[in-house]
Amino acid sequence: MNAETIQLWIRQAEHDLDMAAKVIEVGGFSVCAFLCQQAAEKYLKARYIKEKRKNPPRTHYLDKLGQELNTPSHIRELLFELSEDYMLTRYPDVAWAIPAEEYTLEDAEHKLKVAGEIINWVKEGLVEGKDDKR
């Protein structure tokens, strides 16, 4: 796995995070939560590639990715929180509610904050040379 592959994951993650912030303006609070989950997932997968030197597992469970990356407990709690948004934001039969009607502005702003904390932790490990396990 090379730096170019890692950058592809990061660029898409940044796009997802940017869109998450923008969609709040039109009331897309559940979409914001979903995109926050996606941005965090893609950043985690970029770090996974850097550390493990192989393709990341095909999973949307952020907490599982976090375990494989030895995340600190406070980050793992945030990962668990965002993991549930992968399903809850998309399917009305998961929580027996319509996601678009359940998420609020406060929820969306909180998800952006959580994603930001996770991404900041991931970025620390992506700094060239740090956590490099060659």
Domain definitions of the chain by residue range: 3-126
| Under 8 Å between Cβ of 122 and 44 | yes
Per-residue pLDDT of the chain (134 residues; tens, 9 = 90+): 689 999 999 999 999 999 999 999 999 999 999 999 999 999 999 999 999 999 999 999 999 999 999 999 999 999 999 999 999 999 999 888 899 999 999 999 999 999 999 999 999 988 855 544 43
Q: What is the C-alpha to C-alpha distance for residues 125 and 108, in angstroms, rounded to an integer?
A: 26
Terminal C-alpha separation, the chain: 12
Q: Name the superfamily (CATH) of residues 3-126.
A: Nucleotidyltransferases  domain 2 (1.20.120.330)
pTM of the model: 0.91
pLDDT, tens digit, 9 for 90 and up, residues 40-68: 999 999 999 999 999 999 999 999 999 99
* Residue bearing tokens 């399917």: 91
